[in-house]
Structure 1
Amino acid sequence: MAKIGINGLYWFEMDVETDQENAAQAPTYKEPIKLAKAIQLTLTPQLAEGNLYADDSIDETETAVTSYDVSLNINDLLPDKEALLLGRQKDSLGGVKATTEDSAPYGALAFRMPRSKGVGGGYQYRILYKTRFQPFTEDAQTKGESINYQTPTLTGKSISRDYDGLFNYKLDDDGKKTDVTEVTKKWFEEVTEPAAINTIPEG
């Protein structure tokens, strides 16, 4: 699919106590927080692989996703958002303290990517259900003859939920299906869960 950007970047902190295997309902999340303006996001699957050798060749092979590495370059990270994502505290002056007691929370990361008009337009909506960010590298550069912006890149890990083993979900919306649009118009208001009925394409 041809995608031409990324916009809309929201965070829903997860109540990890509600993420239980075989629970009666999906985990609960807090109210959405708009993080920043997105510049680039990279989602890299981490794989576990196994091969069965027989008669001096590979007879069976298996690959499973264990997690996803997340790299998120944004325009800025304000102090309250830094404290939120990295589990840090702010003081009465608005400063952010980094201590040995910091514990970054898990949460859902939601965003959307515009699709090229050549493939129907609209958006692809994405959500990562259980993601945790980690302290990031900070760069500074002296001002020269040209202006070079220094923007933060957050890195983290997205893992599967204990509740249902779900990593992430994507949904395309070209504006032509009412049932899909009813879901995507609330994408940044609540954590969207996949539809109850699963289908596997034939062929």
Structure 2
Amino acid sequence: MPGVQIGLRDLYYAILTKDDSTGVAYQTPVKIAGAINAKISPKVDTQTLYADDGPSETVTSLGEIEVEFEVKDIPLPVQAALLGHSMSNGILIKDADDVAPYVALGFRSQKSNGKYRYVWLYKGRFETPEQEYKTKEDKPSFQTPKLKGTFVKRDYDGLWQVIGDEDEAGFTQANTWFNAVVNVSADTTPPTLSNTVPANNATSVAVSTTVQWIFSEAISPDCVNASNFMVIKDSDGSVVAGTLSQSADKTTITFTPSANLSAATAYRIIATTGVRDLAGNYMAQAQVRKFTTA
């Protein structure tokens, strides 16, 4: 069951060392003191073309992305790294000519179902934070700093953010998300049929069998229907009645016949080109397998 965001923790930064037509590179991520609040505000410019006395076309473009984080503390070495300052014998030294480096920013947010959402923002610079100090009173008040920055898309590939949810099929990077900045590319690989149960050309199959299609990757639940998955009699092409279900990892589709299959009968297992993965890639060719009951 999908959850809603209820938490924020594990804020990391990584210095961007390369971003050009040949690739990107980052230093190892470093954790910042406890995260309290986060706000990511992309600026989008929308233009509308009017024709025949009414709106006809719209076009949008992404501008800069404003980012603001409130944290428990910004240690001096972290300020030096994020803002281009220097350290000497435990002292932070700020020069008017200091230039903040581009960095990536990562964090995770707990959801109400106990799973986490993982995020990396790829390229941005932070501003010198405001400094506010207050005398200690009878009732203590916390003084927590805020980090404000502007993020943009990368020169290399135009990407600006990646997000992964633990409760999404196919997401396996939760344990390594902060080991290095996660670089991904669009999935353009179509799914393939890895195996079927019964196996192709199997004989003496029990008439009470179920049928399974096992794929190379998770399949979109939207395409799991009788138009894309079917079992038919080889002799006359009649479709076997039954129900379809999908495994938790979405890689296996199971067909359960409404009644036992006919004895000593050949059947065909079909998956059409309407089958697609979670990225929307359709299977390149229809797949047909055959088995014979006992």
**Superposition TM-score, scaled by structure 1 size:** 0.87
1:153 is matched with which residue? 146
- Secondary structure in structure 2 of the residue aligned to 1:194: coil
Find the partner of 1:33 among 26, 30, 34.
30
Count of matched residue pairs: 190
Distance in 2 (alpha carbons) for counterparts of 1:53 and 1:143: 60
Distance in 2 (alpha carbons) for counterparts of 1:59 and 1:146: 60
1:3 is matched with which residue? 5
2:66 is matched with which residue? 69
Distance in 2 (alpha carbons) for counterparts of 1:95 and 1:106: 23
1:20 is matched with which residue? 20
User: What are the residue-to-residue correspondences of 1:37-186 with 2, within 5 Å?
Assistant: 37-92=34-89, 94-117=90-113, 121-174=114-167, 179-181=170-172, 183-186=173-176
Cα-to-partner distance string for 1:159-199 (whole Å, 9 max, x where unaligned) = 1000000010101013x85x523x22111101111254152
Identity of matched residues, %: 34
Distance in 1 (alpha carbons) for counterparts of 2:110 and 2:88: 39
Find the partner of 2:179 among 189, 192, 196.
189
Structure 1 residue 54: Cα displacement: 1.7
The one-letter code matched in structure 2 to 1:76 is D
Distance in 2 (alpha carbons) for counterparts of 1:59 and 1:28: 43
Select the structure of larger CA radius of gyration.
2
Structure 1 residue 46: Cα displacement: 0.9
Mean Cα deviation higher: 77-86 or 46-55: 46-55
The one-letter code matched in structure 1 to 2:11 is L
Change (3 A) 1:196 1:58: closer
Runs of 4+ in 1 over 3 A off after TM superposition: none
Q: Which runs of 5+ in 1 are unaligned?
A: none
Larger % of strand: which? 2
Cα-to-partner distance string for 1:27-68 (whole Å, 9 max, x where unaligned) = 011111111110001000111221112233221111221121
Structure 1 residue 142: Cα displacement: 2.5
- Secondary structure in structure 1 of the residue aligned to 2:122: strand
Distance in 2 (alpha carbons) for counterparts of 1:201 and 1:68: 30
RMSD: 1.9
- Secondary structure in structure 2 of the residue aligned to 1:180: coil
Larger % of helix: which? 1
Mean Cα deviation higher: 30-39 or 49-58: 49-58
The one-letter code matched in structure 2 to 1:131 is G
Mean Cα deviation higher: 96-105 or 158-167: 96-105
Distance in 1 (alpha carbons) for counterparts of 2:281 and 2:85: 45
| Larger relative contact order (CA 8 Å, sep ≥ 6) | 1
Distance in 1 (alpha carbons) for counterparts of 2:165 and 2:281: 16
Mean Cα deviation higher: 56-65 or 105-114: 56-65
Cα-to-partner distance string for 1:63-114 (whole Å, 9 max, x where unaligned) = 221121000100001110110100001123x111121111101111111000
**Superposition TM-score, scaled by structure 2 size:** 0.61
Change (3 A) 1:201 1:73: farther
- Secondary structure in structure 2 of the residue aligned to 1:141: coil
